[in-house]
Amino acid sequence: MPLRTEPYAHRSPINDSFVYPACVARSVTKKEAKATPKAMEALDKAWNKLHKQTCWDVSRVCEWTPLAKRAQAAGKKLHIGRAFDICVEKNSELENGNPNRKFKGRVVFEGCYVKDELNNWAIFAEITSCLATMEAGKAADGYGLLSGHDVQQADGESAYAQAKLGGEETWIRLPPDRWPKEWVVKYIGPVCPLILALYGHPDAGGFWERHCGAALALGGFEPIPEWKSCFWHPRLKLLLVVYVDDFKLSGPAQNLAEGWRQISKGIIIEPPAPAGRYLGCDHLITNKSVPNGFDPRLRWMVPYPPKKDPPDLLSKPGAVFAAAKSAGVTATSSSTNGKGKVSVRVCKYDMCGFLDQCVNRYIELSHVTAPLKHVATPFLDEGTPEFDENDLSNSAVGILWDIASSVLLKILYAARRGRHSPLIPVSALAPLAANWL
């Protein structure tokens, strides 16, 4: 067989390009957290809550080495890992003083470094969980906008830690600064058994999903086939979407309170609130007055000349019907140009703050000093020479190649969550990420 004479070129184990993760919450370092009272308050709150829930049993504390030896002698399987805390600033793109901008502390299990009693890598049951989709959340919004309906949301309190941890017996090490005082002089490497499905454990999501489904079944909720983490209440006609610890409930307004009571039978949740900020996106529900018999589908059925915007449906409905008639589109009985107006509820997805943060991040990473020019849409005008000049399919590596993916991924979240039109330019630019000039 042919052999290669020169050595293979290996990639560098250190990536020197600066990649900024496209996250909604801003990570807070240990140093910053210690210097910020509100951050430390959030971390203390997270630790104290888990202590009260008996997430781990401190009454069974012992040294790991003799425990592992006893397990080896008895042929018993044990897992050992550590717990640590992380702190983030939620909604950091909002202005200072905004009540939605706050620090969030979380205690997690280091699931990437778990050993067994023989100091071998632990093997898990790999119980999978499946989150609700973004489309499911929007479906709940639409159902809640119907006449006489409403949509509300609530957070589950330490959701994963409400479920018992199954599988192999797991023990954890707590950080020294979180040891009880009596441990300091008595133990060298103390461990205690993990009781609840602490976030970060590879199987925690699966055990939480099982617990959540069983608890909701007690309240009369039934899982929707093919729509994971979505439930329907036949008697109350309520649609429930569960995204980890975010609960969104929509349906007849008079049944929502009863629906939350049924959920609370087996799940601890915070007080429900009207639809607001959900997965980093503000939901603004308002009433609008539209012409009687208004059919928004006519807008997409009527061909309009290029470079010409379609008419405003709310202020100029007559133009829509006239254009439809001239194009040969027949309006249905429900879309006739009736007299008078009716009030309808609409939901606006607002991610202005997040998109401002996307622009600021691009300026920060690209070191752009000149003001960015205003454009009407996220698309290039195909009729201008600039469109052809931006064909980079055969170009060399651009000077912004190392930040292109970070910028695009951040915009991608806003496109998927709030407004779909930027998906087209993001998808077009993604294959050319290395060619950015």
Over residues 378-397, the pLDDT tens digits come to 776 666 665 555 555 555 66
Residue 19's pLDDT is what? 43
The CA distances from residue 388 to 148, 213, 436, in Å, are 52, 54, 15
The whole-number pLDDT of residue 413 equals: 86
Ramachandran bin of 2, using left for φ above 0, alpha for ψ from -120 to 50, beta for the remaining angles: beta
**Rounded mean pLDDT, 95-123:** 89
- Three-state DSSP class for residue 109: strand
Neighbouring residues of 192: CB distance < 8 A, sequence distance ≥ 6: 56, 57, 58, 60, 61, 62, 171, 172, 174
* 347 phi/psi in degrees, rounded to 5: -120, 125
End-to-end CA, the chain? 43
Confidence of residue 71 (pLDDT cuts 50, 70, 90): very high
Residue 263's nearest CA partner among 252, 273, 272 is: 272
Give pTM, 2 decimals: 0.71
Cα(399)–Cα(70) distance, integer angstroms: 59
pLDDT over 80 at 302, yes or no: no
Task: Please give the mean pLDDT across all residues of the chain.
Answer: 81
> What is the per-residue pLDDT across 21-39, written as a single tens digit (0 to 9) for each?
444 678 899 899 999 999 9
* C-alpha torsion angle, residues 376, 307, 346, 411 (rounded to 10): -40
Give percent of the chain above pLDDT 70. Answer: 77
Is the Cα torsion angle 328, 329, 334, 337 positive or negative in sign?
A: negative
- CA dist 286 to 257, 289, 296, 343, Å? 21, 10, 17, 10
Determine contact, residues 80/115, Cβ cutoff 8 Å.
yes
Identify the pLDDT of residue 335. Answer: 42
Q: For 154-212, write each residue's pLDDT tens digit.
A: 998 878 889 999 888 999 999 999 999 999 989 999 999 999 999 899 888 889 999 99
Q: Which of these ranges, 262-271, 284-293, 294-303, has the smallest mean pLDDT?
A: 294-303
pLDDT value for 435: 59
Locate 46 and state its tokens. 């997270």
Taking CA atoms, 407 is separated from 19, 20, 58, 87, 426, in Å, by 9, 8, 45, 24, 10
Q: What is the pLDDT of residues 320-364, one digit of tens each?
A: 556 555 555 454 444 444 567 788 888 888 888 888 888 888 888
pLDDT over 80 at 291, yes or no: no
Please report the domains of the chain, with CATH numbers, ordered by start residue.
15-121+166-199 (no CATH), 128-159+201-289 (3.30.70), 293-338 (no CATH), 352-435 (no CATH)
Who contacts 5 (Cβ-Cβ below 8 Å, separation ≥6)? Answer: none
How do strand 26-28 and strand 78-90 relate by DSSP bridges? antiparallel
What pLDDT is attached to residue 339? Answer: 62
pLDDT at 371 over 80: yes
The model's pLDDT over 209-264, given as tens digits with 9 standing for 90+, comes to 999 999 999 999 999 988 889 999 999 999 999 998 899 999 999 999 999 999 99
Report the pLDDT value the prediction gives residue 334, as an integer from 0 to 100. Answer: 42
Asked which of 134-138, 331-335, 412-416 is least confident by mean pLDDT, the reply is 331-335
Rg of the chain over Cα atoms, rounded to whole angstroms, equals 27
